[in-house]
Structure 1
Amino acid sequence: MTDQPVLRLTLTHLVGPADAVVAPQWLTEHLWCQARAVDRLEHVRVRVAPGRIGVAMFVLAADEFGAVRSARAVCARALGASGELRGWRFAE
């Protein structure tokens, strides 16, 4: 096992109002704007459907926990920084 960061895939799901749809390109850009250097984000892909958003992020991290923590931090900042995402939350 190594402590060197490797590229890790994280999947996050967001839920919102049943009829709400967010533009994928806008959301991708918004997520990038919320990322900080410490997040070590490398790639973002989103898929949207009414009331649901799937976010795939590739993050450089030493372990899976660190990758998930970074991805959730970026998503949390994105949710808090835009009125467009009012009513959206992490699916648990």
Structure 2
Amino acid sequence: MGQIAFLRMFMLVSVPTDVNDNRRHLHVFRKGGRHLHSAAKIWIEKNGEPCVEIAESTLSAKENNLLVEAIRRHWNFINDQITKTFNGEKTMVKNIEK
């Protein structure tokens, strides 16, 4: 699992075993307590072009909007880190709240 970014109480992760999925995406986990809880899956591209969309989510509309906007602002960084995850390279974790 390639940790990519933190945003408030969320951790954005790329899973290298998802390489055969039809679109690049992130899994969003809610931090807190002893366990991480999967909260959302967010597409970050469509046909190789930037396109940030919620695929699945248990989050509120406000939280989804927060994540989508942050991912759009940091799209190049996130996409580069997903490439590193798929290539088996070490990823860099960034706080994207700023």
Report the TM-score range of the alignment, normalised by the length of the smaller protein: 0.3 to 0.5
* TM-score, with length taken from structure 2: 0.32
Q: Which has the higher strand share?
A: 2
